[in-house]
Amino acid sequence: MAEADIPLWQLLRAASTAVQGVRGGRSLDTELEQIPARVRPGAQALAFHVLRDLGRAMALRQRLAPRAPPPAVDALLCSALALLWDPLRAPYEAFTLVDQAVEVANRDRRLARHAGLVNACLRRFLRERDSMVEATGRDEVAVWNHPVWWIARVRSDHPAHWESILRAPATQPSLVLRVNVRRTSQAAYLRVLEEAGIEARPLGPCGVVLLKARPVTAIPGFAEGLVSVQDAAAQLAAPLLLEGRDAGDTLRVLDACAAPGGKTAHLLETSDAQVTALDVSPARCERVQGNLQRLGLSARVVAGDALEPGAWWDGQLFDAILLDAPCTASGIVRRHPDIPWLRRESDIAALGAIQAGLLRTLWPLLRPGGRLLYCTCSVFRAEGQDPIQTFVAHNTDAVLRPSPGHLLPRGAAKPETLPDNLEGEHDGFFYALLEKGPR
């Protein structure tokens, strides 16, 4: 059955159920896996739209129904309101959305007795749309579509750019590819795309931006390993770590927290390094292996905890270490709009302890003169500049080399170390390159 043949109420029911799961603490990816394959693409598109406008929808629902209804009803109301509130961006006609939301309630035993409430709230909203939108325009969560604590932290961390950072997730991210330079070149692959009638442009030294997103199965050469999907910011890791090294040098490199393997693959595509790809999850290690196999690359893939090197380290020092540390993922909300609604402010301190522990544990595994690249996909200083400053202050053999630092999404602020044609196409990241000198 084609997506166009699936009734809207089915898509809306699946999307609102996924949104309810996110609000209950489960990732959108996990929720989407529970949706039948034929319904999933349409439900995902609606869920993304809802999550990008969830702050506004929650504020509107509060005005329409001050006493919170049961979670499933609340999720359905908020989903419909998120899709309705801005007529310029609404994916369907207003009365169609209202009708189909009521249909969801009528067809679901959990919701049926609340169908009248759903109908009354949504029809009242249509009557009073302008005044209600104006009233919620004074609500920070409604305006910025992030929790209050998140807004405050971004404003404090980046006072000159906080508004553009918070606006970035409302935009559709570009589909960015990394060319496997062991198989082809950026220029040659752009010709392949041109011959296939696919509009694209170069990005950085080996990236390509598709002007219109498409499934990976429809990307020429993907199955053959010519390209990988990787954000422009993530494509900086391998060049930063290998900068100044001869491509033919046989370096011993550790990619800690390696899954899904994009940075591991980039290291292998651009050097003859002997790479150990480490991840704590055996299942994610299998994914790393699968990605390397598609690209025709090979690494030592190890399932192990980076905080416990005694269980997997052979005792030989590494020439370079890539530490892509676990973080809040606050910089990749464009691609994962569920993140602000999943995270709690307390997560930052908990993850910070892990980040600091990883730095302390892995630093002794690096040879003198070697380099460790610390990175997180976060815009929060507590997961970037702050822990690096603390680490350097407490380790006299750690020298901070020129690094991008906080790379803010969509070019809110462009470090001098970035290629000019990268600006505006990247997610939020942090990079710090440390070199090990004598104590």
Catalytic residues: 377
CA angle 60, 66, 69 (to 5 degrees): 95
Q: How far is 238 from 216, CA to CA, in rounded Å?
A: 23
**Residue 99, CB half-sphere, CA atoms under 13 Å: how many?**
7
Q: Is residue 126 within 8 Å of 347, Cβ to Cβ?
A: no
In 238-380, the DSSP E strands lie at 252-256, 274-279, 300-303, 318-324, 366-376
- Given a contact cutoff of 8 angstroms between Cβ atoms, the answer to whether 19 and 47 are in contact is yes
Using left for φ > 0, alpha for ψ between -120 and 50, and beta otherwise, residue 130 falls in alpha
Closest CA to 260 of 232, 289, 236: 289
Cα separation, 378 vs 367, whole angstroms = 28
If we measure between CA atoms, which residue out of 199, 142, 193, 149 comes closest to residue 170?
A: 142
Q: Are strands 274-279 and 318-324 parallel, antiparallel or unpaired?
A: unpaired
- Asked if 51 contacts 338 with a C-beta cutoff of 8 angstroms, the reply is yes
Phi, psi of 175 (to 5 degrees): -90, 115
C-alpha separations of 9 from 16, 269, 389, 417 in Å? 10, 46, 52, 49
CA 42 – CA 337 distance, rounded (Å): 16
Using CA atoms, how far apart are residues 33 and 364, in angstroms rounded to an integer?
40
